[in-house]
Amino acid sequence: MKTKTFRQNAVTYGIVILFYLICQGLILSGNMSSLMKGLMVPICYYVILAVSLNLVVGISGELSLGHAGFMCIGAYASAIFAVCVDGKMPEGLELFLALIIGAAITAVFGFLIGIPVLRLRGDYLAIVTLAFGEIIKNVVNAVYLGVDENGLHFSMKDSLSLGLSEEGLTIMNGAQGISGLPRTANLTIGIVLVLITLFIVLNLMNSRQGRAIMAIRDNRIAAESIGLSVSKYKMMAFVISAALAGVAGVLYSHNLSALQATSKNFGYNQSIMILVFVVLGGIGNIRGSMIAAVILTILPEKLRFLSDYRMLIYAIVLISMMLFNSAPKAIEWRKSLAERFARKKDIPAETAGKEAR
């Protein structure tokens, strides 16, 4: 059992490293199109988002529709930091600190949002995560933040009301977002973060805490009856997932020169897209959501003629996956199919036996 999970995890890490070596080889030998090069960092943050969302949806069993909101917090927190320290420290150090700050601040928000959210269940929980995601996006778009020699200035009205001195710098400019960001993210950093994400999630799953999280998912009442604290472990999964989404946000903001919160990148649609990765890869299947994220990021770009239909296809994928995986009739049908296959295999064995006799 132990060795089996160990082998499984090794394969998952191996796939990531192999992917990295192939991509890096293609880049260094000049065989990768600029389009694909531009996809390298997005692939990494989508994988991180998918894996971290799977921690909540698959491992903890709660549907979160606000994952992009956490990504938004990570992106903005790190972008503010980046603009504030611009040129004052080496790029590498800046990115390292931005990652820590992004993850930490998102974790704090994850905790604060988790307190009300995790008191709810099922559909209500899902709709409230959606609400929080939209609130985050709306609030970020309404905030103006500036800095000058007198310190930080804050306004919800417009950049003029910040009252900055001439030397002052507008950091967050409402819906126009944050500009002047360092584009320091690259494939190598992305892959390292993917590996760290996998390390955290996979090891957590195979620990005492992960066991408790999954036990609560499988049967909440039984979990309480053996003394497992439902709120503690649900919160643990939620906060770790949020922090990792924050890391993805840092990667996102460090891949752009200007950051804006739109419904496309941090809205409900993005949250659904991440959910599609998770569902397609298999709810609870970490490696699956990773692969689904990579394929669904590359495919629409490769098959341009499909791009108009991309979202429609996602929708159909979502519906058919659910019907195929969860409809009682489909499950029965799959079982009978599997049995038939098993029987077919048995028949030659039987006849072989008869011949021997």
Partner 1 sequence: MSSFLTYLINGISLGSVYAIIALGYTMVYGIAKMLNFAHGDVIMVGGYTVFVICSTLGLPPFVGILSAVVVCTVLGVVIERVAYKPLREASSLSVLITAIGVSYFLQNAALIIFGADTKSFQNVINVPSLTLMDGQVTVSGVTMVTILSCALILIGLTTFINKTKTGQAMLAVSEDKGAATLMGINVNRTIAVTFAIGSALAAIAGVLLCSAYPVLSSTTGAMPGIKAFTAAVFGGIGSIPGALIGGIIMGVIENLSKAYISSQLSDAIVFAVLIVVLLVKPTGLMGKQIQEKV
Partner 2 sequence: MAEQKKNMLSVESLSISFGGLKAVDNFHIQIKPHELYGLIGPNGAGKTTVFNLLTGVYKPDTGSILLDGQNITGKHTIDINHAGIARTFQNIRLFGNLTVLDNVKAGLHAHYTYGMLSGIFRTPKFRKMEREMDQKAMEILKVFDLDGAADYKASQLPYGKQRKLEISRALATEPKLLLLDEPAAGMNPQETQELMDTIRFVRDHFDMTILLIEHDMKLVSGICEELTVLNFGQVLCQGETKAVLNNPEVIKAYLGD
Report how many residues bind partner 2 under the rule CB under 8 A: 29
Beta bridge pairs of residue 148: 151
For the chain, the helix, strand and coil percentages under 3-state DSSP, each to the nearest 5: 75, 5, 20
Between CA 147 and CA 298 the distance in angstroms is 40
Measured from the CB atom, the residue of 23 and 201 that comes closer to partner 2 is 201
Residue among 138, 203, 262, 263 that touches partner 2 (CB under 8 A): 203
Structure-token match 């992004």, residue found: 102
Site for partner 1 in 256-275 (CB under 8 A): 268, 272, 275
Angle, helix 187-205 to helix 230-253, in steps of 10 degrees: 170
| Cβ-based neighbours of 236, under 8 Å, separated by 6 or more | 209, 213
How many of the other CB atoms lie within 10 Å of CB of 268?
A: 17
Q: x/- string (CB under 8 A) for partner 2, residues 277-306?
A: -------x----------------------
The token duo for 67 is: 């994952």
328 in contact with partner 1 (CB under 8 A): yes
What's the min distance (Å) between Cβ of 227 and partner 2? 4
Quick one: which of 272, 259, 207, 256 has its CA closest to 59?
207
What's the min distance (Å) between Cβ of 90 and partner 1? 37
Between CA 273 and CA 288 the distance in angstroms is 15
Site for partner 1 in 164-193 (CB under 8 A): 175
212 in contact with partner 2 (CB under 8 A): yes
218 in contact with partner 2 (CB under 8 A): yes
Report how far apart, in Å, the C-alpha atoms of 321 and of each of 110, 117, 163, 282, 336 are.
29, 27, 54, 9, 19
Q: Are 285 and 86 in contact (CB under 8 A)?
A: no
Partner in contact with 99, chosen from partner 1, partner 2, none, beta carbon below 5 to 8 Å by kind: none
Residue among 48, 145, 237, 279 that touches partner 1 (CB under 8 A): 279
Measured from the CB atom, the residue of 211 and 220 that comes closer to partner 1 is 220
Quick one: which of 304, 275, 320 has its CA closest to 52?
275
Partner in contact with 96, chosen from partner 1, partner 2, none, beta carbon below 5 to 8 Å by kind: none
What's the min distance (Å) between Cβ of 155 and partner 1? 12
119 in contact with partner 1 (CB under 8 A): yes
- Footprint of partner 2 on this chain (CB under 8 A)? 1, 199-200, 203-204, 206-212, 214-215, 217-219, 221-230, 236, 284
Binding positions for partner 1, rule: CB under 8 A: 57, 61, 63, 65, 116, 119-120, 122-124, 126-128, 130-132, 134-135, 138-139, 141-142, 156, 175, 221, 268, 272, 275, 279, 283, 308-309, 311-312, 314-319, 322-323, 325-330
